[in-house]
Chains A and B, each alone.
Chain A
Amino acid sequence: MLQELFDILTFQSGYNTNVVLLGAGLLGTAGGVVGVFSLLRKRALISDAISHATLPGITLGFLVALALTGTGKSLPFLMVGSTLSGILGVLLVQWIKDNTRLPEDSAIGTVLSSFFGLGVVLMSYIQTLKSGSQAGLESYLLGSTASMLQSEAEMIAISALAITMLAVLFMKEFGLVCFDPDYAASRGWAVSKIDLLMMALLLAVVVIGLKTVGLILIIALVIIPPVAARFWTDRLGVMVAISAFTGGMSCYLGAALSALTPDLPSGATIVLTATALFTLSLLFAPKRGVIATALRQFSFRLKITRRRALLSLNKGQPTLSFLASFLLKREGVLNSDHTLTEKGQKTVATMSRDQALWNQYLSDYPEEAFAQNRWSLAMITDILPRDLINELEMSIDSPKKEIG
C-alpha cells in the first residue's frame, strides 16, 4: 500500500495517472491563487453559488450533445453549458442584490438552491433516457479522477496553468482592488473590469475543477487554501504563494490517495487533505495559530500575575495566589516562608516606582495614557522616552501646587 502510494506520488504509475496528478496539482494551485483574491474581496461564498449553478448547464449540455452527436458525454458541450449557467448564476446573484431588498446571502442561497434543484430535476430526466451513458454525470457531483480521460486531464492541466499565470500577472491590480477599491478607482483604474476578470478566473477554476473535485466541494478549493495561508502572513505575495502551495499539495496528495481507493469520490479525499493542511496551519502558524495564541495569552497572564503580586507585596497586603507565589519563589523574590529576599525588596521597590510613574503619566497626560495600549503592562522605561520619564519623576517628587 505504502509502496504503491510512493509510486503514485513519484509519478511512476503510468502516463494516465501522472497526467491526472499533474492536472490536479495545477488545478489546486490555480484555486489557491484565485481564491486569495475572492477571499480578500469578501466574496468567498459567491463561489458556492457559481458551483451549484453549473449543474443545470452540465445537464443541458449533456442533452444538447446527445441530440447533436448521439453521445452525451462530450466534454466541450458540458464545459460550455456549465460556464454559461455559472455566468447566469453570478448575474442573478448580482441582480437580486442590486434590485431587491434581499441581502447578498439570501441571493446566494436562492440561486444555488434553485439552479441545483433544476439540475437535479434534469438529471432525473436524463436517467429515464435509454442512452446508457448518463452514469458519467454523477461524477460531477463529488468528483472522480478514476473515470477521467487523458485528454480531460491534459485540458485541466493546461487551463489551470493559464489561470494561475493570469492571476499572478494581475496580482498588483487585484490586490489594490481587494484592499482599497475606492483608491484604485480614484487612480483611474477600471475597477469593474478588474472585478470582472477576477470573477471570470474564479468561474474558470470552478468549471475546470468540476470533474476532479465535484461541484458540491469545489468551493473548498478556493476557500480552504487562502484561509490557511491567511494564518501565516499579512503580506499579499506571501499569502498567494502559501495558498498556491497548500492548494496544489492538497489536490496532488488527495488525487494520489484517491487513485489508491477508486471507489472513493476524489472530491472528498482532496478536500480532507486540504482540511488536514489547514488544521496544521490553524494549530502551528507562528502568530495566529492556536498554539501560538495560547502561549501568548499564557505568558501575558504570567506577566500580569507577577506585576500584581509585586505591587501587593509593596502595599504589605500580600494575598498571593499559588501561581504568583510559585513564580516569585522561582525568581528569587520570595523566601520559602513568604518573606522578601534582599533581591525581592529591590524588585518590589522598582515595580512600585514604575507603577507610580505610570499613574503620574495617567494624571498628567490622560489622553496619551488611554491611547497607550501597554499602560502599566511593561516597565515604563522600556516604553516612554527618557525626558518624559524625567518630567514625570519631577512631578511625583515635587507635586505642583493646586492653582487657586
Chain B
Amino acid sequence: MDLPLADFLQIDFPALLVASLAGLCCGLPGNFLVLRRQSLIGDAMSHVVLPGIVVGYLLSGTLDTLPMLLGALGAALISALLIEVIRRLGNVEPGAAMGVVFTSMFALGVLILEQTGASGVHLDVEHALYGNLESTLWFGLTDWSDILSADGLAQMPGSISRLGGVTLVVLLVIILFFKELKISTFDPAMATSLGFNARYISIGLIVMTATSAVAAFDAVGSILVIAMFICPAATARMWTDKLSSQIILSSVFALMSGCLGYLIAAFGPFLLGENYALNAAGMIAVVACLLQAFSMVFAPNHGTMGRFLKQRKALQEPAEI
C-alpha cells in the first residue's frame, strides 16, 4: 500500500487528532461520572444537545461554534431541570426521568432538523449519530513542518481548535479542582462539612460534561461521545484504585482507542486488499470496549481472571492459625 505523506497529513492526521482530542475531552470528566454512578448522564447529554445545536444553527444561520454551544448548553440545562421536576413530582427513579427527557429532546431535534431543511446543509441525523470524523480535512499540509507554520495553522479545521480548547479547559479545571472533585465524589457529606458545597461541584461537573459532549458531538457523533465518557474510565478502574492514576490511565486508553480505532477503520480493509473504509467512530467505540473487555477479564486485581488466580493461590497456601 502506498500512502503519500501529503494525503496522510491532510486526511488521516486531522482525523487522528480529532479522535484523540474527543477521547480526552470526554474521557477525563468520564472518570468522575463512572465513580459517581452517573455514567448515563453522558448518554443523556449526547442526545439532548441535538435540538439545542439545531436551534442554535437555525437562529444564527451559521455553523459557528458559539451559537451552537449556547444552544446545546441551554438544551442541557432545560433537560436537567425537567429531569429533576419529573423525578420529584412523579416519584420515579432518576433513570426513568432521564429516559423520558432525553428521548423527547432527541425526537424534537430530529423533527426540527427534518422540517426546516437544515438537514441538507451540514447537519443531519446520521451525522449526529456517527459524526463526520472522516471528513475533517486539513488542507495545505504537505510536510510535518507545515503544521506549525502560519499558513498551516490558518487552515486548521475548526473542530480541532474547538476540541483542543475544550480539552485544555477540562484538563485545567480537573487539575485546579482535583481535591474538591475527589472529595465530593467519594464523600459528598464530608465535602459539605469541609466548607465547599458538593451540590455546586456536581452541577459544575454536569456543565463540564455538557460542554465536552457538545464539543465532541459535532466532530465524532453521539455514539463515540457515550463510549468515551464511559469506556476509558471503566477500563482504567480495572487496573487501579487511585484516582490520579485512574485519570492518567484513562487518558492513555482514550488515546489508544482513538488512534487504533481510526487506523483499523481507515486502513484495515486496505490491508486485506479491499478498497473501502469502515466507519471510524463506530470502530473507535468497538476498540475502546474491547480494551475494556480485556481489562475486565485480565486485570490483575479487579479482573475476573486475576481474582480467580488469586483465590486459587490463597486456597493452596496453608492457612495460618
Q: Is B304 on the interface with A (CB-CB < 8 A)?
A: yes
Cross-chain contact B95 with A121 (CB below 8 angstroms): no
Interface contact A272-B107, CB-CB below 8 Å: yes
B223 contacts A113, CB within 8 Å? yes
Q: Is B142 an interface residue (CB 8 A)?
A: no
Q: Are A224 and B103 in contact (CB under 8 A)?
A: yes
Contact of A102 among B103, B234, B283 (CB under 8 A): B234
Question: Which positions 190-234 of chain A face chain B at CB distance < 8 Å?
Answer: 216-217, 219-220, 223-224, 226-227, 230-231
Cα(A308)–Cα(B95), bound, Å: 41
Distance between Cα atoms of A291 and B111 in the complex (Å): 28
| B90-A231 in contact (CB<8A) | yes
Determine whether the beta carbon of A113 is less than 8 Å from that of B99. Answer: no
In the complex, per-residue mask of A220-251: 1 if CB is within 8 Å of any chain B CB, else 0 = 10011011001100000000000000000000
Count A interface residues, CB 8 Å: 58
Q: B226 touching A268 by the CB < 8 A rule?
A: no
* Of A38-46, A167-175, A366-374, A388-396, the one with at least 4 CB within 8 A of chain B: A38-46
Stretch at the interface among A75-83, A122-130, A148-156, A177-185: A122-130
Identify which of residues 54-99 in chain B touch chain A, using a CB-to-CB cut-off of 8 Å. Answer: 85-86, 89-93, 95-99
**For B91, what are the chain A residues with a Cβ–Cβ distance below 8 Å?**
230, 288
CB contacts (< 8 Å) of B227 on chain A: these are 113-114, 117
Q: Which residues of B contact A288 (CB under 8 A)?
A: 89-91
Q: Which of B36-44, B160-168, B311-319 contacts A (4 or more CB under 8 A)?
A: B36-44
Residues of B within 8 A of A45 (CB): 40, 95-96, 98-99
Contact in complex: B96, A272 (CB < 8 Å)? no
Asked if B17 is at the interface (CB within 8 A of a chain A CB), the reply is no
**What's the minimum C-beta distance from B262 to chain A, rounded to whole angstroms?**
12
- A99–B296 alpha-carbon span in the complex (Å): 9
Please tell me which stretch of A3-11, A103-111, A310-318, A322-330 contacts chain B, meaning at least 4 of its Cβ atoms lie within 8 angstroms of it.
Answer: A103-111
Asked if residues A219 and B279 are in contact (CB atoms below 8 Å), the reply is: no
Q: Is the CB of B96 within 8 A of A117?
A: no
- Separation in Å of the A247 CB from the closest CB of chain B? 13
CA distance A114 to B261 in the complex (A): 12
Judge if A265 is at the interface, Cβ distance under 8 Å.
Answer: yes
Contacts of B92 in A (CB 8 A): 39, 227, 230
Cβ < 8 Å to B, chain A residues 264-303: 264-265, 267-269, 271-272, 274-275, 278, 282, 288-290, 293
CB distance from B229 to the nearest CB of A (A): 7
B111, A269: Cβ atoms closer than 8 Å: yes
Which of A110, A226, A269, A278 is the most central at the interface, judged by chain B CB atoms within 10 Å of its CB? A110
Other than the known A105-B38, A223-B103, what 8 A-B pairs have Cβ atoms closer than 8 Å? A42-B95, A48-B99, A108-B39, A117-B286, A118-B286, A121-B265, A220-B100, A268-B110
| Bound Cα distance A100, B305 (Å) | 11
Q: Is there contact, CB below 8 Å, between B90 and A230? A: yes
CA distance A118 to B285 in the complex (A): 8
CB-CB nearest 4 A-B residue pairs: A117-B285, A120-B282, A114-B289, A124-B279
How many chain B residues sit at the interface, stated as a range, is 35 or more
| Residue from B34, B85, B100 within 8 A of A106 (CB atoms) | B34
CB closest residue in chain B, given A221: B103
User: Does A187 lie at the interface of the complex (its beta carbon under 8 Å from any beta carbon of B)?
Assistant: no
Q: Per DSSP, are chain B's interface residues mostly helix, strand or loop, or mixed? A: helix
**Chain B 163-180 per-residue mask, 1 if CB under 8 angstroms from chain A, else 0:** 000000000000000000
Is A20 an interface residue when CB atoms closer than 8 A count as contact? no
B187 at the interface (CB under 8 A from A): no
B118: chain A residues at CB < 8 Å are none
Asked if B223 and A116 make an inter-chain contact with CB atoms under 8 angstroms apart, the answer reads: yes
A-B contact pairs, 11 of them (CB 8 A): A99-B304, A105-B37, A105-B39, A106-B234, A110-B292, A116-B282, A117-B223, A220-B104, A227-B96, A264-B115, A271-B107
Residues of A within 8 Å of B191, CB to CB, are none
Give the B-binding residues of A (Cβ under 8 A).
39, 42, 44-45, 48, 96, 99-103, 105-106, 108-110, 112-114, 116-121, 123-125, 128, 138, 141-142, 216-217, 219-220, 223-224, 226-227, 230-231, 263-265, 267-269, 271-272, 274-275, 278, 282, 288-290, 293
Nearest-neighbor residue (CB-CB) of B301 within chain A: A101
In the bound complex, residues from chain A placing their C-beta under 8 Å from that of B39 are 103, 105-106, 108-109
B224 within 8 Å of A by Cβ? yes
B278 touches A113 (CB 8 A): no
Q: State the CA gap A272–B100 with chains docked (Å).
A: 11
In the complex, the answer to whether A39 meets B289 with C-beta atoms within 8 Å is: no
B307, closest chain A residue (CB): A99
* A372 CA to B126 CA, complexed, in Å: 58
B127 within 8 A of A: no
Please give the distance in Å from B45's CB to the nearest CB on chain A.
12
> Which B residues touch A293, using CB under 8 A?
89
- Asked if B114 is at the interface of the complex by the 8 Å CB criterion, the answer is yes
Contacting pair A114 B110 (CB below 8 A): no
Contact B103 A271 (CB under 8 A): yes
Tell me the bound Cα distance from A230 to B188 in angstroms.
31
* Chain A nearest Cβ from B78, distance in angstroms: 13
Question: CB of B182 within 8 A of chain A?
Answer: no
| B107 close to A109 (CB less than 8 A) | no
Establish whether residues B125 and A272, one from each chain, have CB atoms under 8 Å apart when the complex forms: no
Closest residue to B299 on the A side, CB-wise? A100
A268: min CB distance to chain B, Å: 4
CA of A224 to CA of B86, assembled, Å: 11
Instruction: Judge if B253 is at the interface, Cβ distance under 8 Å.
Output: no
Residue contact B238 to A100, C-beta cutoff 8 Å = yes
